Structures are given as structure tokens and as C-alpha cells.
Amino acid sequence: MTRRAIYPGSFDPVTCGHLDIVERASRMFDEVVVAILVNPNKTSMFTIDERIETIREVINSRLEKFSAKIVVDTFGGLLAEYATQQQAQAVVRGIRAISDYDYEQQLALMNRRLAPTVETVFLLSAQEYSFLSSRLVKEVFTYGGNIDGLVPSLVIERMSEKLAKGAK
């Protein structure tokens, strides 16, 4: 049986913290589905298609060793429903600090109620990325701060293009 895990998130944009979790999950499961949540009510920097393309490219270059077992997909609505439909054994979530815990516990327990056989697996972030979020990356980059090493260089390129367009 294929052991499949879903790693859901916005990935707007994907960071080195996300990639670290994908890599850890890839060592544990036969297949890891990076599942981008489609949320029309949330304003984002990148479109869903741009995020899919960037994540795929970055996985192929930075996680080449695991790329055969990593799938990139999108989903809307309930995560529990999507995980069941994907016949996943687990949902993977990253924990950066205690501040992530409250919300993650709520989410995990609600998902357990909705899909009792899908287990939530928490993976502790790498220490060097424990302060890192997409929101912070966007904020710092918008004001000209250096984000080298926190996101793949492709993401920096894509963000520069976005800002250049926005400035016109």
C-alpha cells in the first residue's frame, strides 16, 4: 500500500521552511502531495498557476532526490474531504513555535472528527527557519529587505517581477 501524506498550505510563496518540511515528509512517506489551498476570498501575491509552477520547478531543482514521490495539486473546501478522496493516511503540518500550536491543534482535532482515519503528523521546523513565514517574506521583500537563503532564488526572481509590474 502506498503511504500518502498531504501537505496543505497557501505557499504564497513557497519558502525554505516549506521545502524543509516537504523533504522531511518525503523521507517518511511513499508519496507527498503538496496541496495548495484555493481560497478566492484571500488576496494573494501569486496566482494558483504561478504557485504550482514555482513549487514544481523548485522541487525539481532543490529536492531532486525526492521529486519522483512529490506531487503538486490544488484543493478547495474541506481538507478532510480532500485527504479522504486522495486516500491519504496523513496530513503533514509544520510547527515553528508554540504560537503555531493552538491553531494547529484545533485544525487537527476538527479534521480528526471529520475524517477519523486520517492522522495529522506534526514536523518540527528546522531551527534556522523557525521564524519564517510567507507573510513575513513578502513584507520584508516589499520594503527592500534581504531574504536570501529564506526562499529559493527562483522565488526572489518571481517576487521581483511582481513588484516591478505592480510599480508600473
Ligand X SMILES: Nc1ncnc2c1ncn2[C@@H]1O[C@H](COP(=O)(O)OP(=O)(O)OP(=O)(O)O)[C@@H](O)[C@H]1O
| Residues marked as catalytic | 18, 42, 96, 134
- Kind and range of the H or E run holding 4: strand 4-9
Cell for 103? 491553531
When the beta carbons of 12 and 31 are compared against ligand X, the nearer one is: 12
> Least Å distance between CB 51 and ligand X?
10
- Least distance CB 131 / ligand X (angstroms): 8
Query: Distance between CA atoms of 124 and 138, rounded to whole angstroms?
Result: 23
Give CA separation, 85 vs 37, 100, 120, in Å: 15, 27, 16
State yes or no: residue 134 binds ligand X (CB under 6 A).
yes
Handedness of CA 38, 41, 43, 47 (dihedral sign): positive
Residue list 17-36, contact with ligand X (CB under 6 A): 17-18, 21
Nearest CA to 20 out of 136, 149, 164, 135 is that of: 149
| Selected binder of ligand X within 4, 51, 62, 93 (CB under 6 A) | 93
The answer to whether 26 and 64 are in contact (CB under 8 A) is: no
Contact pick of 50, 53, 81, 100 for ligand X (by CB under 6 A): 100
Options 22-30, 52-60, 90-98, 159-167: segment touching ligand X (CB under 6 A): 90-98
For ligand X, the binding residues (CB under 6 A) are: 9-12, 15, 17-18, 21, 93-94, 96, 100, 125, 129, 132-135
